[in-house]
Structure 1
Amino acid sequence: MHLKLRVFAEQVLVAANIFVLFLLLFESKLVIPAWLQTIGRMHPLILHFPIVILLLAMLLEFFRFRPEYAGNAFYRNFLQGLLLIGALFAAVTVIMGLFLSREEGYAGDTLTWHKWTGAGIFFLASMIYWVRNAKWYKAVAARGGAFITVVALVMTGHYGAALTHGSDFIWEPISKKTVAEVPLDEAVVYTNVIRPILEQKCTSCHNPDKLKGELILTDPQSIMKGGKSGKLLIPGNPQMSLLLQRVHLPMEEKKHMPPSGKAQLTLQEIALLTLWVKQKADFDKKLTELPASDSLRMLATAYLQPQAQEEEYDFAAADEDKVKELNTDYRTILPLARESPALAVNIYNAAAYNVKQIDELGDIRKQVVSLNLNKLPVKDADLKSITQFENLRKLDLNFTEVTAAGLKELGSLKHLQNLTLSGTRLNLNDLKGLLPQLKSVKTVAVWDTKLSAADVQHLQQANKGMTIIGGFKDDGKNPLKLNPPQMKNASPIFAQTLTLDIQHPIKGVDVRYTLDGSEPDSITSPLLDHKTVIRQNTTVRAKAYKKGWYGSDMVTFDYFKSAYKPDSGTLLAPLNRVHQAEGVKTFFDHKLGVIGANNPAWANNWAGVRNNDMAFESEFKTPVMLSSLGVRYMVEEDTGIFPPELVEIWGGTTRDNMKLLAKFKAPMPVKGERASLRSVEGSFKPQQVSFIKIVARPLSKIPEWHRSKGNRALLLVDEMFLN
C-alpha cells in the first residue's frame, strides 16, 4: 500500500475508533433521520466484506511468525494492508449496524450480544493492527489475537442470523420438532395447536429479542396486547383481526405476513387460526370441550394426529434434462422435496401467459403434483389442459378468470386435495353446484370473492368433508366496523409547530377530526389532509369512515408543546427505588410512559417519589422567556398512584436569586375511577430565566375511601413541558 495512502487510512481508523466509541456511549440519544436509515439498512450488504477480509487476515496472522514467512517482505506488507482494510470495513459495518438498530423491531439480549461482539471485533482488529509491530508482540500474542477474533466473528454472525431469521435458524433442519405429541383428550387448542404454528411461522420476528412492529407473539398476554398497528386479534371476529388481514394480503404487499422469503402459512394453518379467533381466541379451552362436529375440533384433531411419513409416489422421477429444458424465465419446475419424484410448477408473468405453457408439460404430467397459476389470465378452456396432470394434489387459481362451469373439469383429478380460488368471480350458487363434484378436495380457499361470511358458513355446513377458507370482501353488502385511526407522528411532543399525521391502515379510509372536544362525524367534521398544523397543546379526536363500513370508535390523541429543554439538571431529592427512569433527563426526553408502571418492564419512562418531594434544579446556558409549566402524570387510584398535591416552579437569572413563579394543584380522582394519563399546567407572567427549580409534592394523605387511606401516595411523572 502506498505510504501516503496508508497514513491517511490509519488516520481514518483512529477517527473511526473515536466515532464508534462515541456512538456506543451515547447510543440512547441517537435520533436517526431518514437518509441515515438508508445507510443503516446497508448493514447486511456490507458486513460480508469485513468477515471475509478479517478471516483471511487472521489466518495469515496466525502463521506470521513461522520462519518461512517471518522474513518475507511481501507477506508482511500484504498482511498489514489486509488487516487495515478489514478494520476499516469493520468500522463501516459497525456504524451502519448501530444506525439500523435504532429502527423499530430490534431489541433484547440478542441485539446486545450482536452489537458488542461486532464492536469488539472492530476494536480488537484495530488494536492488533497498532501493536503487531511492537517488540513484545510474538507468535503467542499473534495466534491468541487471531483465534479470539475468529471466535468473535463466528459469535457475531450467529447473533446476527438469530436477529434476522430467528434463534433456531441454523439448527432448525436437524432439531425441528414435530407437532406436540399429546393425547387428544388432554390437548389444549392454543397450547398444542395455535402456539406451535406461531412458533414455526411468526415468533422469529415477533419475540422479546426482535420486536418487529412492537409485537410479541410468545405469550397470551402479549398476543392480546397487540403491537404498534393496534390489536392483533378481535376475539370472535377473524375478518377484523389484523392477524388474518395480514395473512391474506397478496404476497407482493409489504404488509403481507409472514414476509416474502419466509416460510408461509399453509391453508390448514390459516384455517386453524381463523377458526380459533372465531371461537373467541380462548387460550385455555381443551379440544374435547368443543362439540364433536365443530370445524375447529375436526381440523385440530387432524393436525394433532401423528404425522404420516412423507407420501410415497408410485411414479418414477422425470428425466432431469427434460425438466431443465422446460424451465424458462416465466416457468419454474422444482422437486417437491429432496430425492422426491414429485414436481411443483410455478408459472409467472400474466402478459406472457399462454395455455401452451401448460400443454408443453406433457412429458412430466405424471410427476406434477403442485401447479401455481396465481394472477394469470387462465380461462375455462385452459382447465382441460390441467386435467392431464393425473397426480395433481395442489392447484392455485387465485385471481384468475375461471368460472364454475370450467372448474367442473377438475372432477376427474382423483388426487386433488387443495384448491385456491381467492379473488375469482365465483358466487354462492356457483360453488353449491361445484364443490360436491370435487370429491377428493379437502381444502378450498375463497378469500376475496363474492361470498359473504354467511355464504362461507353455508358452504361449510353443506360440505363437511371440506375446509372452506373464506374472508370478507369490501363490497358494502356486509358492513363491518373499522379499527380506529393511528397516530404516525414520531412523537406527540413538539417545540414550535407540528403537522398532524393520523392515518388508517386500510386504503381509501377518510379520517375526520375535531379540536374542540366534540365527536367527529362523517359529514361536517374536517377531513384530515396531512396539512393541519398545531401550535399549542392540542387534543385531537378522530374517527375513521369508509363507504360500506361502519365508522370506527372515536380515538383521542394528546399533543404537547414543549418549547424549551434545559441544558443540565440536578436532583435535589432521591427518586423512588423502583421508578428511577433516567433521573432529571426523564422530564425532558420527549418519551411518554404508558399505564402499568408498577410492572418493571414498563417503568423505564416514569420517575416516582413517595416519601419526599420530587425536586430538581435545571440550567439554561442561554436565558429563555418562560410563561408556563406543564406536568404529565399517571393516575391509578387502585394501586395508590395519585396526582401531585402541589407543583411549584421557581426561576431566576442566577441559582441564588430564584423566586416563585407559580404554584398549582392537580384535580384528584374519585373512587373507582379508571387508570389514566393526565397533564396539568400552571401559567405565570413571562419571565426570563437561566435557572429553574421545580418541586412536585406527592399527595400526603390518601382519601378516606381508599384502602390505603392516610398513607402517602405514589407520584409518577414522565414528562414536563416548558413554554
Structure 2
Amino acid sequence: MIQAQRFKQILENSLFVWLGLTCILVIGGSNLLIPDWLQVLGRSHPLLLHFPIVLILMGLVFFWIPKLKPEIKEVGTYCLLIGSNFAGITVIAGLLLAQEDFEGADLDWHQWMGIATFVLSILIYFYREKQSALLKPLTIGLGAVIVLTGHLGANLTHGSDFLLAPFQSQEVKKVQLSEAVIFTDMVQPILEAKCLSCHKEGKIKGELRLDHLEGIKKGGESGPFIVPGDTKESLLTQRIHLPKEEKEHMPPKNKEQLTDEELEILTAWVLNGADFEKKVVDLEPENDLFIFASAKFDENKTYSFDAADPDLVEELNNFFRKINPLYPDSPALEVSYFGISAFDPESLKDLTKIKEQVVKINLNKMPLEGVDLSLFSKFPNLEEIQVNFAGLSNSQISDLSKIETLESLAISGNKITDEVIPDLKKLKNLKKLFAWKTDFSENGMTKLQTELVGVEIDFGFDESGLIYELNAPKLIYDDILFKDSTLLEIKHPIPTVDIRYTLDGSTPDSISSKSYSGPFSLKNTSRISAKAFAKGWIGSPEESILLFKSGIKPSEIELLSEPNEKYAGKGAITLNDEVKSKPTHTTGEWLGFQENPADFIVKLADSRKPKQIVFSVLYNESAYIFPPTQVEIWVKKSGNWELAIKETPPQSEDIKIPRLEALLYDLPEGSYDEIRVRLTPISKLPKWHPGAGEKGWFFIDEVLLED
C-alpha cells in the first residue's frame, strides 16, 4: 500500500515537471539548441500519442459510472493519472518535433489543442474529488479536445481529406491528350500524392509550400525548388535523386517513395523548362514527357451521344461529300466537301439528318456567297467549322456566331471586317480562330486579341523585311526496326527547299552534307539527321531518327548474368525478339543491369557471318541509366575464346532527355560460330550528377547482327 502511494506521488509530481518543460518549450523553444537524443524523443511523438488518448478516455469513463466501488474507481484514477503523464510527454515530444522546420495554422491548432488536453487532464485529476458542477462538463470538454487534437494530427499526417476520403468520389478525372497541361495533369498530382503531406498549410517543412504555385516558385530555406532547365540547382531534382538512406532524400524513407516513372516525369519537367502552363501537345512527339502523357491520357475525345445509323451515313456519302468517324469506333462524324463545280448549297440540309453526330465540317473553298449558314446553329455538338476562301460576308459570320458549341473557326481568305467582332465575341466556347488574309484593320486585330480572352488567334504574318525559320523536314519510314533494308523519304511542306541530311548522327549543314533528291534505301543501322535550307530563310531545326537493321538472326542468346529482377523483360529472348522498345525503361521490354555486367553469348545460326554487331541501348541520366563503362567482345575460334574488341564508349556529361542509342562494332573476319559480349554498367555516378557516387544502370533491348 505504501509503495502504491509512493508511485502515485511520483506520477503526480511528474505532472508538474512535464508542465514546466512545456512552458519552457512554448516560450523559448525556437531559441533552444535541441540535442540529437531529444530529437529522437520528438520523433517518437506519433508513437507516444496513442497512450494518452486511450488512458485518459478510459479514466473519464469512470466519472460517468455511478456508485462504483472505491477499488474500481481507483482504476479510473490511475488511468487518468498515467494518461496525463503520457499527455505531458507527448506534448513535449510534439513541441520538440515542431522545431524541425514545421509551421502553419493546422500545426498551431494541433499544438494548442494538445496542450489543452494536458492541462485539462491535470485539472480534472486534482479536482476529481471536489463536488463541482463544472467537473462533468470539463470531462466532456476534455473528450472533445482529445478528438479534435487527434483529428488535426491526422490531417497533418495524412491530409485534410483523410477522414472523409471513403465517402468522396473515387472517379478519376478523364483528361484528353489535346487538353492535358504538363504541370496540372502530370506534375502536380505527383507532388500532391508524395510531397504535400510535409509541405502545405499547417505543415510547412523547410519553409517550402507546395500547395500553391507561389510557394513552388518561391522555394524553401535551402534554395529554389525549381530552376528551369537545371536539374543540378533545382532542389526538387537534387533531393529525389539522393540515396534513400540520406537524411535529405525526398520523400523521407518512411514515406511512400516515387516510382521510376514519377522520377522521370519530375526530372523531365525541370529539364524542359518547368513550365506551369505548357500543354502536352506543344511538345515534340519524341519528348519523353509526351511519351508518358500518350500512355496516360486519352488521345481522342470521348462523346456520350449515340452513333448515327451506318446505312444513313453511307447514303449521305457521295463523290463530292465524305462523312467519316472522327476516329475509329467514334460516334462523332467529320464532314468534308470536295469539288467547287459540283457543290450544291441545298446539300447542306442533308446533314440535318445526322446533326447530333456531326462535330466537324470542312467547307474550304466552297462557293458559299449568300448561302444561309444559320442551319448549323441547330447542330448540338458542332465543334469545328472551316470556311476558308469561301466568299463569306459579315452577315454569314453572324449566322455562325449562333453555334454555341463551336471551339474552332477558320475564316481565312474571306472579306471579313471589324463589324463581325461583336458576333465573334458571342462564341463563348471558342478556342481557336484562323483569320489569315481577311479585311480586319490593325485596330480590329488588336481589339480581337484583347476581347477574345483565351482564344488562340492566327492572323498569319507580314513577310516584308523579316527572315523566318523554316519548319523541320519530316522523316517518313515504315518501321524503326527493319529486316534487310527500308525506304526512307524526307518531306517538307515547301517543295523548293534544299534538304540536307547525314547518316552518322552529325548535324547537317547547307554546304558539305548530302542533298536529298528522293527516297533512298537504308541497309544498315543509321541515325538520320535532316535540315531544310532556302535562300532568305533561316535553316530549319534538325530532325533526327535512329533506325535499326535486324539483319542476321542468331539461333540463340544465352545470358551468363541475370538482369535486375525489376527489369528482367522476357529474359534472353528480349535481346533478339525484334521488338523495339520506346525510350522508357519501365515498359517491360528492356533488360536492366546494375550489380552485374550484361554478359551473354550470341550463337550464330547459319553460314552468313556478320560484319557488325549492334547493341540497341537506352540512356536516361535522370534515372541513373548511363552508357557502359566498358565493352568487351570475344569470338570463339577452334573452341577457344579470343578477345576481339575492348573499348570504353563516350560517357554522359550532363542530364538529357531519355533517348535510344546504338553501339556499333565491327567484327573480325574469319570463321566462328559464337560471340561473347560483356557490357559493364557504371559503378559510381559522376560528381556532376545529383546521385553522385551511387551505382548506375545499363539498359539493353536488342542485339543485332549486320552483314
TM-score category of the 2 structures, normalised to the smaller one: 0.3 to 0.5
TM-score by length of 2: 0.46
TM-score by length of 1: 0.45
Q: Which has the higher contact order (CA 8 A, sep 6+)?
A: 2
Structure possessing the higher radius of gyration over alpha carbons: 2
